[in-house]
Amino acid sequence: MTTTTTEATHKATISSLYARNARSVVARGLKATKSTNWVIVLSGFFEPVFFLLAMGLGLGTFIGDVELPNGTSVSYAAFIAPALLAVSAMNGAVYDSTWNVFFKMHFGKLYDGMLATSLGPLDVAFGEITYALLRGGVYAIGFLTVMQVMGLNLAWTAALAIPAVLLVAFGFASVGMAVTSYMKTFQQMDWINFVMLPMFLFSATFYPITVYPGWIQGLIKALPLWHAVELVRGLTLGVLDGSMLTHVAYFVVMIGLGLAFTTVRLRALFLD
């Protein structure tokens, strides 16, 4: 008996959070993109390309080939390109789920309007995440095309980098959304950068983590970006082994926890 009651209440709260209409939020995002800021959205594609040109080609001349753990060696550009793809997936997802949401929440007052309709907060959350993923997917296809042209995709599995990037972006976005729910000022938002920068610099992005002592390596391996980089890199270089499943599992868990966390937060913010 007790179980049924709790289940019923649980369902009730979920349905008051979620009206199964996230697609209307996505549609709004697409419309807004089309009518106002498509240049800016498009410009996001160039960021990793600039990094690839500067670091891959410029710095690459001093680095030569990188030897992979399995003994094969690849050009420096081929080594960092997948990492840049993973980083841009992280940046895009984090930006969309933190700054963008924060701004809409506190300044645009966009969500107040949405929530005054039949939409629930979870519709808004799913809608925003889906929109962010669509955008991330388009960037990923663009960047992979650049890599293809430059001859940096070394195996057919590179095509699988697209779903991999979406998985990574989903993971970061679901956690980012929950974190943003705690934020009240711009100053607090700045702290997000303090978490992102070390991940960006140390997660095997520009060089293998074997240059570090063991305990630092352990620390890095606990962070999501390292898993993202290794996953995407394995796919574009065609170096596949069992560890790929670990990386995927890491993000599946991250998505699960992130969504649960976000739901709890939304319930606290909008229903209590």
The answer to whether residue 15 forms part of the interface with another protein (CB under 8 A) is no
Residue closer to another protein by CB (options 63, 160) is 63
CA distance 168 to 76: 23
Which of 59, 245, 252, 268: binder of another protein (CB under 8 A)?
59
The answer to whether residue 12 forms part of the interface with another protein (CB under 8 A) is no
Residue closer to another protein by CB (options 78, 244) is 78
Which of 50, 67, 108, 260: binder of another protein (CB under 8 A)?
50
Which of 12, 14, 27, 197: binder of another protein (CB under 8 A)?
197
CA distance 121 to 23: 13
The answer to whether residue 207 forms part of the interface with another protein (CB under 8 A) is yes
Q: Quote the least distance from Cβ 99 to another protein, whole Å.
A: 11
Residue closer to another protein by CB (options 56, 234) is 56
The answer to whether residue 68 forms part of the interface with another protein (CB under 8 A) is no
Residue closer to another protein by CB (options 69, 163) is 69
Stretch 134-173: interaction string toward another protein, x if CB under 8 A: ----------------------------------------
CA distance 199 to 178: 19
Which of 2, 194, 213, 272: binder of another protein (CB under 8 A)?
194
Angle at 194 between CA 76 and CA 256, to 5 degrees: 85
Residue closer to another protein by CB (options 63, 159) is 63
Residue closer to another protein by CB (options 23, 109) is 109
Measured CA distances, 267 to 43, 66, 163, 180, 254 (Å): 35, 49, 30, 14, 20
Residue with tokens 């978490």: 195
The answer to whether residue 58 forms part of the interface with another protein (CB under 8 A) is yes
Contact status, residue 79 vs residue 66, Cβ threshold 8 Å: yes
The answer to whether residue 215 forms part of the interface with another protein (CB under 8 A) is no
The answer to whether residue 63 forms part of the interface with another protein (CB under 8 A) is yes
Name the residues that contact another protein, by CB under 8 A.
Answer: 36-37, 39-40, 43-44, 46-47, 50-51, 53-55, 58-59, 61-64, 185-187, 190-191, 193-194, 197-198, 201-202, 206-208, 211-212
